[in-house]
Structure 1
Amino acid sequence: MKIITVLVLDGVFDSSLSITLDTLHAAQAILAARGGAPQLQVRTIAAKTYTTTGAGLRLKADLRIKTVKQEVSDWIIVPGLGYRSDQELSACFARSDTMQAMHWLAAAGAGTAKIAASCSSAFLLAQAGLLNGRKATTAWWLAQAFRARYPAVILDEARILVRDGPCLTAGAALSQLDLMLAIVSDVAGESVAHLCSRYLLIDQRSSQARYMMRDHLEHEDQTVIAAERWIDAHLAQPMTVTALSSELALSPKTLARRIKAATGVSPIKFIQGRRLSQATHLLETTALSIDTVAAQVGYQDSTALRKLIKREFGVTPSTLR
């Protein structure tokens, strides 16, 4: 028997919680249809008797944190929270129920339980100290806030799923689908996970990079903002880091340091990301040929752009249309 515990906090993203429970119940049904003894026990746990979801619904959990003497879960899952900014997360962390939940998670992390979280709930795992020195992902628009708070965590916001040791993290809220299939595969086998994905019409994805909107990445470095504006205004032209730093009256080394601190990437990757973002926008919103799009974002032929899209997004340009 595998025990899966779902931690529910005030402000939980409703669809993330529903995806968690629905996927687990689908797995239970598939296993039951195959006969034999029940193989999965699913239970919810909370700090309070009733928690309120992000949409205002009230939920009574199966267990209270303070009544659980010893953690025996195989997996603990923290569905995404409906908080969209670092300020909202700070307010969440200051609540007594959240602090109680983090202490419980930290204690569980010292045991044998595997722990999973998606979207802004990855902040909760990091705040509890569970991700120090580990690789992780989170909602792409919160990446800079995450890096600023938790420099000891190796963040890769382009990936939808990152597993490092006992911790599994997922990207933006609906990547909970991908997270749950990974957990079902772990506790019930790949065949059950595959059937769940077919019954629930879940398409597995390897990256959230193609869904990122570069203008919504949170940072406040005015130099980097100026760099973004200059790059966007000159996408079709040849561009070097030296030319960009000259425009901003900085040395290449200083510019590289500022860009790395604000975005987590090198200046070359930064320029490439702006070009790729605009190319994706044009492919999704216009009927321009791939050759025309490539020229408009600074590539002499479409081959390089095709390879870049395939490498970063795992799809062909035609898939984006």
Structure 2
Amino acid sequence: MKTITILVMDGVFDSSLSITLDTLHAAQAILAARGGAPQLQVRTIAAKARITTGAGLRMQADLRFTTAKQAASDWIIAPGLGYRSDQELGACFARSDTVQAMRWLAAAAAGKAKIAASCSAAFLLAQAGLLNGRKATTAWWLAPAFRARYPGVHLDETRILVRDGPFLTAGAALSQLDLMLAIVSDVAGQSVAHLCSRYLLIDQRSSQARYMMRDHLEHEDRTVIAAERWIDAHLAQPMSVTALSSELALSPKTLARRIKAATGISPIKFIQRRRLSHAAHLLETTALPIETVAAHVGYQDSTALRKLIKREFGVTPSTLR
């Protein structure tokens, strides 16, 4: 028997919680159809008996932090918190129930439970100190805020799933689907996870990169914003870090430091991602040939663009159409 405990906070993102429950219910049904004793126990835990979701629904929790036994959980899952900005998350961390949740998570981690979180709930693990020195991901638009708050975490916001030791983090809200398939595979086997994906029509993905909209990233670094605007205005032209730093009246070293702090990547990678983001937009919204798209974003060779899209987004250009 494997026990899975779902951490439910006031303001939890409803779809993230529903995906968690529905996927586990599907796994339970598949296992039951195979016969034998029940193999999955699913329960919810909160700071109080009743919680209110982000959409205002009321829910009864099975357990309270003060009474739950840590050793009983094989997996603890924290669905997305439903907060869309660093300011909202900061207010959440000041709440007494959040403080209780972080203490409970820290004790659970010490007890060797595996812990998973998606979207803004990854902030909860980081705030509790559980991700220091580890790799993680979160919702792509919150990446700059996450990186500023937790410089000791190796963040890769392009990834949908990141596993590091006992911790599993996922990207934006509906990446909860990918997270749950990974957990079902761990507790019930790959064949059950595969059947869940078939019944629920879940396509597994590996990257958030294709979904990123750079204008929606939550950072306020004026230098990086200016760099984005200059790159976007000169996409079709040859471009170098030296030219970009000169345009912004900064040394290449200073520019690299500012971009790294805001985005976690080098200026060269930053330029490349801006180009690929625009290429993906053109492929999704126009019928332009790949050769024309490549020229629009500064690649003379469409083959190079094809390879980069496949490497960074995990799909072919035709998949984006």
TM-score category, normalised to shorter length: over 0.9
Show the counterpart of 1:147: 147
**Root-mean-square deviation (CA), in Å?**
0.7
Show the counterpart of 1:133: 133
Q: What is the SS of the residue equivalent to 1:77?
A: strand
Query: 1:70 Cα shift?
Result: 4.0
**Deviation by residue 1:164-201 (Cα, 9 ceiling, x = unmatched):** 00000000000000000000000000000000000000
**Deviation by residue 1:200-230 (Cα, 9 ceiling, x = unmatched):** 0000001111011011111111111111111
Show the counterpart of 2:113: 113
Q: What is the SS of the residue equivalent to 2:162?
A: strand
Show the counterpart of 1:71: 71
Q: Which AA in structure 1 matches 2:143?
A: A
Matched, 1:59 2:59: yes
Q: Which runs of 4+ in 1 moved over 4 A?
A: none
Structure 1 CA distance for aligned equivalents of residues 31 and 9 of structure 2: 29
Show the counterpart of 1:318: 318
1:93-108 matches, cutoff 5 A: 93-108=93-108
Structure 2 CA distance for aligned equivalents of residues 118 and 22 of structure 1: 16
Show the counterpart of 1:254: 254
Show the counterpart of 1:170: 170
Unaligned runs of 5+ in 2: none
Show the counterpart of 1:201: 201
Structure 1 CA distance for aligned equivalents of residues 231 and 64 of structure 2: 52
Show the counterpart of 1:182: 182
Structure 2 CA distance for aligned equivalents of residues 69 and 193 of structure 1: 27
Q: What is the SS of the residue equivalent to 1:42?
A: strand
Structure 2 CA distance for aligned equivalents of residues 113 and 258 of structure 1: 38
Question: Bigger CA drift: 254-263 or 64-73?
Answer: 64-73
Structure 2 CA distance for aligned equivalents of residues 129 and 33 of structure 1: 41
Query: 1:69 Cα shift?
Result: 4.3
Q: TM-score of the superposition, structure 1-length normalised?
A: 0.99
Q: Which AA in structure 2 matches 1:180?
A: M
Change (3 A) 1:271 1:70: closer
Q: Which AA in structure 1 matches 2:161?
A: L
Structure 1 CA distance for aligned equivalents of residues 8 and 207 of structure 2: 26
Q: Which AA in structure 1 matches 2:8?
A: V
Question: Bigger CA drift: 18-27 or 254-263?
Answer: 254-263
Q: What is the SS of the residue equivalent to 2:66?
A: helix
Q: Which AA in structure 2 matches 1:33?
A: A
**Deviation by residue 1:23-79 (Cα, 9 ceiling, x = unmatched):** 001100000000000000000111011100000000001111112244310000000
Q: What is the SS of the residue equivalent to 2:71?
A: coil
Structure 2 CA distance for aligned equivalents of residues 70 and 132 of structure 1: 21
CA contact (8 A) 2:221 2:262 kept: yes
Q: Which AA in structure 1 matches 2:206?
A: S
Structure 2 CA distance for aligned equivalents of residues 68 and 44 of structure 1: 10
Structure 2 CA distance for aligned equivalents of residues 176 and 66 of structure 1: 27
Q: Which AA in structure 1 matches 2:168?
A: L
Change (3 A) 1:3 1:69: closer
Show the counterpart of 1:21: 21
Show the counterpart of 1:301: 301
1:3-42 matches, cutoff 5 A: 3-42=3-42
CA contact (8 A) 2:138 2:170 kept: yes
Q: What is the SS of the residue equivalent to 1:43?
A: strand
Q: Which AA in structure 2 matches 1:73?
A: S
Matched, 1:289 2:289: yes
**Count of residues paired in the alignment:** 321
CA contact (8 A) 2:70 2:111 kept: no
Structure 2 CA distance for aligned equivalents of residues 144 and 46 of structure 1: 29
Unaligned runs of 5+ in 1: none
